[in-house]
Structure 1
């Protein structure tokens, strides 16, 4: 198609009849109407869509409004009258007759040969695009629900500190009733006066792309009172690795600070009175124990928080890229694709979105585990069914890399486990094996009975691990950002999740690997028949 013709700003330079002749076989629907809404000219695509309204055969000379049922005519009469008075505008249209299909319709007023006004309509079917956008929005809303329930206050700002998101925890921390009260505000507005200068400096550091950990400062509540807080300040990057937002994960440490101040007061009292040394020392020891417990809990909560956000960034990225990739292909090559191929891509998008939802549900479960709120429901389960179902879920990923998955299940016994935790362990080990196995490789899943446990192994022919890399696994205190000969990307937190879940079910997990030859991950689950023996 000639580019100038396709852009409405050039239409006024072209004879409308000549324009419709040029666009007779275009992928978009075009129709030329006179000021009485009579069809003067339309292209083949427009004619083919008339069958949706049961109006096959409607062509030049017919009144455009007669195409539509009475319920739709008022809408069309309104927009067509508008088109005679406005140079151009765009509408999104659907109706009950279209059975869920959506069209983007552009109206453009033109002068006809008799110097009377006419209307050129250009319509494009955007149904698939809209459905995909709706699914992505649902996934984003689900992810946002995780942020809103975090025990820490979470705030995101623009690079200058302007607040773009504030969680309910942040509002309650400062006594703010409505989130609207944070709109058009800078986060510095909520910082205690004496701490503002240093806080601004840290915003500048973060805006330049650097993260800040365990930064202590004071917030200011609605009554002007200081609220002691500790924050990790991170940076959210765009696809070009440029900072676009600043992320604040803020923890209320008022109780800890008050305890520290109390400890300092006790030390001063001890210096003033020798007679009270014994009593004050005992109290000091007690406070130290409380502080140690508080610090331990803070460390655990910090680790849990870091794991949660790392897993979100690690395990959500690939399926979201899958959705975006298939969506882009559908948008760009939709007309050239067969219906079978379209359905295949749509099914892949749906399955990927469903896997994202399931991952987020598992993350919520794991988050509850870190805060002691996870209910582990141990019950008799067929491990054969769990493995087979999980292999089916990851089969698409394996097929994309031409990786063969062999299932060799020798155990027929029931295990005593939590179904959700067990499925999560198997899925994580399989997806890791697919990730670290070269195209054309092989993954073998097998089971055996041993000393009252079922031993499950997931063995691959991938890149393998060195001794140094093996020692990094299952640990939160080391950086697993890059491991292996090819420096494959990953957080290692999926394996930490597997270790915690195995232990909660009474089992264990370990790895055997040779660099360059592949890895075998093993985990055990108690056999149900041995539980009461």
Structure 2
């Protein structure tokens, strides 16, 4: 969580005592707090210095909370607004939410309600900043791509080579200006023309064969003739390669005028033959013969075009990542908070009837939903930072057993509740060179994932294996497993694969993708083996550190008679 002294809050209430209570609580929580006893006073302060969070009474004289919220959000749309209202003013609270209020608290204000509302507001602020940074990076990438396109267009338009973009049938889709200038055709005449119509009849079989060779992966550099509109031939050397044009499969044909080169080559051959026969007495000076290899410029042209396609692929990956991010926020978070609202309503109704067993039942549901929401937000923020290279990586030497014990202890109670036996078998003296926070995140996600998809009464076992300079950590379960068709989707951001746990636990399908990316950032890798109905084995690799004994020690196995930690 970010430093709370950096978060500015302004509280507005026409009741001085209530305002004092709110300000006192927020000050003790180390927030930067200002107060105002009217909407006009608050607006004046905010015009001088905006705030991150506005807490306002909805019903106030002169300027009420709804009017104040409208004006504040017009000037500072990133401000998070929390309303305070009496129980009999529910309609005004609804109106307040419609104009952009994030949350509202009923009077008399309870400290727990206020604290929860503030924490949610802080999380929202943090998430907004993450998204703004992601959008900033995306704009930079778009600008880089646009610059690349403009540079490529300049190269394309000024090249002396003939460049044709063709569909897979050989029809012309696009070309550079030198084609019209040198061949004498107009743009309308060339568009849609088959490239074979521009080659001499003697070359047709050769061109067709080279296109076939290109599709089969063979080299396609060949000599032929392009025919001008006036019927005169130009001897060219042509390279054909596969590419994309407007999202469709296409061909790029780059032809270099080698008329002078071939003429010089034939002259050289004639001179050599004449010398061989003793027919030439004069000395041929070196400067009179100039040979140019056209393949170099053809290859340079091809490389420039392929680099543009590569940058388009990078932009596509960025957009896919952003779309997935918004999809998770829009769907999964909304679903979790809907269940929270419904469960809260049920708790209120049941509490009114004093049904304690039902209260416990719905309180348990609420706890699970809140846990899922927190886990989702943590994963989203970690993943978002990793996508933008914002994670600070610090390599330290750590005992892998201590890391595993620490993370297993976090799940002892959950394992007991689900009656799952959670065990580990790790030597005492195995050390790894890792980032501690990243490794803990990976272990937490894999153990939580195993608990989610293992039936009550099942088993989860964490083990390690050392191979040369690598330590392999495996989390095994005998849960529901994954079929082979969906196995390859687990680590791909462009694939949507989600399923509920054995106790109807929810998931986003994001955790495993994030774990693989994180372990790769610390020079490791991750993979999975599974058989549907028999469980999964998730394994990731870490760097072993040989400055410490890594092959000795006592293997420890701690056991309890009841489900939980073993």
Compare relative contact order (CA 8 Å, sep 6+) and give the higher one, 1 or 2.
2
TM-score with structure 2 setting the length: 0.46
